[in-house]
């Protein structure tokens, strides 16, 4: 069975199983619309699904996914408009009460950033996007307490979450709500090998949520 055939078979199981079992809830969402309280900015990595990790159901989470779960700074040129537009919709239109930046271990985007794969140039979309976390790269490479490259990757993954949290506050409609305490920002880090979920604060300190 090909990969596409597996997807179609999975859809058929969903249609006859989950959909039928939750028809009322799903039909309600279709007619009434969505009203999630939480927005999650997660990585595109196929191994890290926010809904699976948090055991959430349709309608619970407004999910934005991009390479390395980065938040760009607020800028009006449209360079990084996809993530910014999604955030604006979640915060200004849906009025979510929480925004979570969900990073994860063994992130390919962060590894490419640390390895310096490709300089910023025309059509090098990954390098251009990952430049958002350039400061995290510099910090990880400058640390003398890290002995291995994997340790530097881990440190860079955590630092990039801090950068994204800081960048969130450059959006006026986010900063205003945070100051009014109607919106809370969270940094989370998922270790897919151990299954551990950590909370990352503005200083880079972590505490286990699991």
- Give this prediction's pTM: 0.93
Q: Return the pLDDT at 206.
A: 85
Contact 113, 124 (CB under 8 A): no
> How far, in Å, CA of 31 to CA of 131, rounded?
41
Tokens coding 30:
């279709």
pLDDT in tens, 124-165: 889 989 999 999 999 999 999 999 999 999 999 999 999 999
Helices (H), ranges, the chain: 3-16, 18-21, 23-32, 50-53, 81-88, 108-115, 125-130, 134-142, 149-168, 172-179
Contact 96, 41 (CB under 8 A): no
> How far, in Å, CA of 104 to CA of 188, rounded?
8
Radius of gyration of the chain (CA): 19
pLDDT in tens, 84-125: 999 999 999 999 999 999 999 999 999 999 998 645 556 688
Identify the structural domains of the chain with CATH numbers, from first to last.
1-33 (no CATH), 34-208 (3.40.1050.10)
| Mean predicted confidence (pLDDT) in 11-30 | 95
| Mean predicted confidence (pLDDT) in 73-80 | 76
Q: Return the pLDDT at 138.
A: 94
Q: Return the pLDDT at 80.
A: 61
DSSP letter for 90, please.
I
Residues constituting the chain: 210
């Amino acid at each position: 069975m090909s990969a596409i055939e597996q997807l179609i078979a999975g859809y058929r199981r969903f249609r006859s199983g989950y959909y039928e079992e939750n028809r009322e809830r799903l039909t309600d969402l279709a007619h009434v619309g969505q009203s999630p309280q939480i927005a999650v900015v997660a990585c595109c990595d196929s191994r890290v699904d926010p809904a699976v990790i948090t055991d959430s159901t349709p309608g619970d989470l407004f999910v934005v996914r991009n390479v390395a779960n980065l938040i760009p700074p607020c800028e009006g040129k449209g360079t990084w408009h996809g993530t910014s537009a999604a955030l604006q919709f979640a915060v200004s239109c849906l009025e979510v009460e929480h925004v979570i930046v969900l990073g994860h271990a063994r992130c390919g985007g962060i590894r490419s950033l640390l390895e310096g794969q490709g300089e910023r140039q025309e059509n090098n979309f990954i390098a251009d996007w990952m430049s958002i976390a350039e400061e995290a790269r510099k910090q990880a490479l400058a640390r003398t307490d890290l002995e291995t490259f994997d340790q530097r990757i881990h440190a860079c993954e955590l630092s990039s979450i801090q950068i994204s949290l800081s960048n969130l506050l450059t959006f006026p409609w986010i900063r205003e709500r945070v100051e009014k305490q109607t919106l809370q920002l969270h940094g989370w880090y998922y270790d897919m090998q151990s299954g551990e979920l950590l909370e990352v604060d503005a200083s880079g300190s972590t505490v286990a949520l699991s």
